[in-house]
């Protein structure tokens, strides 16, 4: 009997409205379960990849990943894809600057490459992506590996059983479509760059591998290091149940026992005794890093770790027991040439510019920046505020939005929890104080505290301009309160700013997480003429005069170090850029306000050092 043909055969799901449902349910790739590189040898897949915008989502709708070119009888079929013959783009890179017609494109984009890989016995292989914006789906040799949500944190999928020695066909769908349920949502003040904007690599591990390691000074116990060690076990029971932690410069090693938890995960956690008097504590003045090696069975994990304590009490912030003032700047992840796909040299230039300005602190806004930024800050001695893009209005009552935000927060913390430079986790920026938002943000604060007690928790909050108060229920949950205010620019009465600060009766130290004004590079005029360099400089002069007079203000991160692209900035001077930078979008040309900030920070540093 002849097999009955489906009504939609040959139509590639074009008659099925919910064709994508199977890809929305489950199969999420989580960065929380990935093995971090840990200085293991990796195979880079960076380079030129074939690329095509996928305007109608045909990769999924028409199942292009199956690469069907013949029918069931072996006869050739017409097909609408041609992976190997598509144009190429650079990975890592954003597609927006690689071809003129991609400049403003938002939507799905298909990446394709072919690679060989020589498998080794008793080895596992993971495909690790440092970040792609925003929803990412992966197929290897036509096998669907899963999807990841979030445009700025790393994730990995195990590909061991799907690998071939030659001709592996890797397809990645990166989709930066803005959706209400996402984090961030549909409206924000930066450019929505698309694509695989950070690196792609293969990591090889033994069957039992070290997934992640946490090692920091205990926040409340002297002479103590706290450690957590998580393992990934391929199958069966572990034979070797002991791991070793060695800190080279201390000449010390500790044997720790791994145990299987209730969820089936193997881990070790506890405290290590040290002679803290022999320890060189990390600080901006002395950014000392220790070489740490963790081994278990045949696997070895290496990292460089700085040890320090960051605390807050009585409206003050303390680093290693010493009161500090955070002389900072905000900065977006965007370079003049590579846009969001910054090179390590470009990141280092940013940190050098901050140090020249007199900064000891940077607020990395408004999403997790490249993991190399924190490693460079460790080495160069810059403290960091890192945050997730819980930005402006979100669907705070939507469980999908909550899951997305928690996922990004956990992935960020697990990625950078050994970075001494990171002193503050931020759970969001400028959200209205509603019941739904409060419970949403409180959940994120609790999640961060559960994962990491060695850092401060903050958020950038709105002030109440009607009552002239720092008024936000979230402040009671935080260690440091960030406030964004633009007096002199959007609001003209500096007296109101003084009222707000005079009325503050909270116990938390305040960081002014945003203040500033726009200036078009080279536009000169009077101090009252908006968009001139003189106006921006005058506003900074007045802001510092006021802010430095309140002892509970323990940090300032003006907005922003560099001009950056934002499509909601469209007047004749802005031309698609937010112009609040102290330096132009070329990352070279400095405005008058640069010197104002530099002089103010030099004065503040002298004052703080007595």
pLDDT in tens, 466-504: 899 998 999 999 999 999 999 999 999 999 999 999 999
Tell me if the pTM is above 0.85: yes
| Inter-residue contact 362 to 385 (CB < 8 Å) | yes
Which band of pLDDT confidence, cut at 50, 70 and 90, is reported for residue 12?
A: low
Q: What is the pLDDT of residues 252-299, one digit of tens each?
A: 999 999 988 777 788 999 999 999 899 999 999 999 999 999 999 889
d(CA 411, CA 388): 10
**CA count, 13 A, side-chain hemisphere, 354:** 34
| Token pair in block for residue 315 | 């409206």
| Token pair in block for residue 316 | 């003050």
Per DSSP, the residues of 315-359 read: TEEEETTEEE-EEEEEE-S-BTTTBTS--HHHHHHHHHHHHHHT-
d(CA 324, CA 311): 10
pLDDT of residue 172: 98
**Positive or negative: CA dihedral 580, 581, 584, 590:** positive
d(CA 319, CA 217): 12
d(CA 555, CA 610): 18
| Peptide bond just before 184 cis, omega within 30 deg | yes
CB neighbour list of residue 389: distance below 8 Å, 6 or more residues apart: 151, 152, 183, 184, 188, 366, 367, 408, 429
pLDDT of residue 264: 75
| Token pair in block for residue 239 | 């034979």
| Inter-residue contact 547 to 502 (CB < 8 Å) | no
> Which phi and psi (to 5°) does residue 179 adopt?
-135, 150
Q: What are the residues facing 76 on neighbouring strands?
A: 70
- The residue among 292, 308, 216 whose CA lies nearest residue 251 is 292
d(CA 470, CA 511): 12
Q: What is the pLDDT of residues 181-227, one digit of tens each?
A: 999 999 999 999 999 999 999 999 998 889 899 999 998 888 999 99
Which band of pLDDT confidence, cut at 50, 70 and 90, is reported for residue 6?
A: very low
- The residue among 543, 545, 514, 541 whose CA lies nearest residue 527 is 541
d(CA 48, CA 543): 47
pLDDT exceeds 90 at position 40 = no
Coil, helix or strand at residue 122 = coil
Coil, helix or strand at residue 248 = helix
């Amino acid at each position: 009997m002849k097999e009955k043909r489906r009504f939609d055969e040959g139509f590639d799901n074009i008659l099925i409205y919910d064709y994508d449902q199977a890809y929305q349910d489950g199969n999420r790739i989580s960065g929380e379960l990935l093995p971090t590189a840990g200085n293991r040898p990796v195979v880079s897949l960076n380079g030129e990849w074939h690329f095509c915008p996928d305007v109608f989502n045909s990769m999924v709708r028409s199942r292009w990943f199956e690469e069907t070119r013949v029918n069931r009888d072996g006869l050739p079929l017409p097909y609408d894809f041609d992976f190997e013959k598509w144009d190429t783009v650079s990975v890592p890179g954003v597609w927006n600057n690689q071809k003129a017609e991609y400049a403003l494109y938002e939507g799905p984009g298909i990446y394709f490459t072919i690679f060989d890989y020589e498998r080794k016995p008793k080895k596992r292989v993971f495909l690790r992506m440092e970040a792609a914006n925003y929803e990412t789906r992966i197929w290897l040799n036509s096998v669907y590996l899963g999807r990841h949500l979030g445009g700025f944190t790393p994730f990995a999928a195990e590909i061991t059983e799907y690998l071939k020695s030659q001709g592996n066909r890797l397809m990645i769908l990166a989709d930066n479509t803005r959706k209400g349920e996402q984090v961030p949502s549909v409206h924000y003040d930066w450019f929505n760059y698309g694509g695989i904007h950070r690196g792609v690599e293969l990591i090889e591990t033994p069957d039992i591998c070290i997934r992640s390691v946490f090692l920091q000074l205990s926040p409340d116990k002297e002479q103590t290091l706290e450690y957590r060690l998580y393992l990934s076990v391929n199958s069966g029971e572990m034979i070797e149940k002991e791991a070793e932690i060695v800190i080279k410069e201390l000449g010390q090693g500790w044997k720790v026992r791994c145990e299987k938890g209730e969820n089936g995960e193997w881990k070790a956690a506890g405290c290590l005794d040290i002679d803290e008097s022999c320890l060189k504590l990390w600080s901006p003045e002395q950014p000392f890093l220790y070489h740490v090696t963790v081994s278990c069975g045949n696997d070895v994990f290496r990292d460089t770790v700085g040890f320090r304590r960051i605390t807050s009490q009585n409206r003050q912030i303390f680093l290693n027991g010493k009161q500090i003032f955070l002389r900072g700047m905000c900065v977006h992840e965007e370079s003049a040439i590579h846009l969001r796909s910054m090179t390590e040299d470009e990141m280092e230039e940013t940190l050098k510019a901050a140090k020249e300005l007199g900064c000891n602190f940077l607020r990395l806004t408004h999403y997790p920046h490249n993991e190399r930024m924190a490693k460079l800050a460790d080495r160069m001695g810059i403290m960091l505020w890192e945050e997730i893009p819980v930005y402006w209005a979100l669907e705070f009552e939507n469980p999908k939005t909550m899951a997305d935000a928690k996922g990004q927060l956990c992935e960020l913390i697990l990625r950078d929890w050994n970075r001494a430079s990171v002193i503050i986790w931020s759970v969001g920026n400028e959200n209205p104080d509603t019941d739904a938002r409060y419970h949403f943000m409180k959940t994120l604060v609790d999640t961060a505290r559960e994962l990491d007690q060695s850092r401060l928790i903050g958020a950038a909050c709105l002030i109440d301009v009607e009552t002239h108060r720092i008024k936000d229920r979230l402040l009671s949950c935080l260690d440091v309160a960030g406030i964004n205010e633009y007096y002199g620019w959007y609001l003209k009465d500096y007296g109101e700013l003084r009222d707000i600060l005079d009325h503050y009766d909270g116990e938390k130290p305040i960081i002014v997480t945003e203040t500033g004004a726009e200036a078009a590079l080279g536009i000169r005029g009077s101090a009252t003429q908006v968009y001139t360099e003189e106006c921006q400089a005058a506003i900074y002069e007045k802001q510092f005069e006021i802010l430095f007079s309140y002892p509970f203000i323990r940090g300032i991160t003006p907005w922003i170090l560099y001009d950056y692209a934002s499509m909601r900035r469209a007047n004749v001077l802005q031309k698609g850029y937010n112009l609040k930078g102290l330096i132009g979008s070329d990352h070279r040309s400095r405005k008058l306000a640069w010197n104002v900030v530099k002089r103010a920070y030099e004065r503040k540093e002298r004052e703080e050092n007595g």
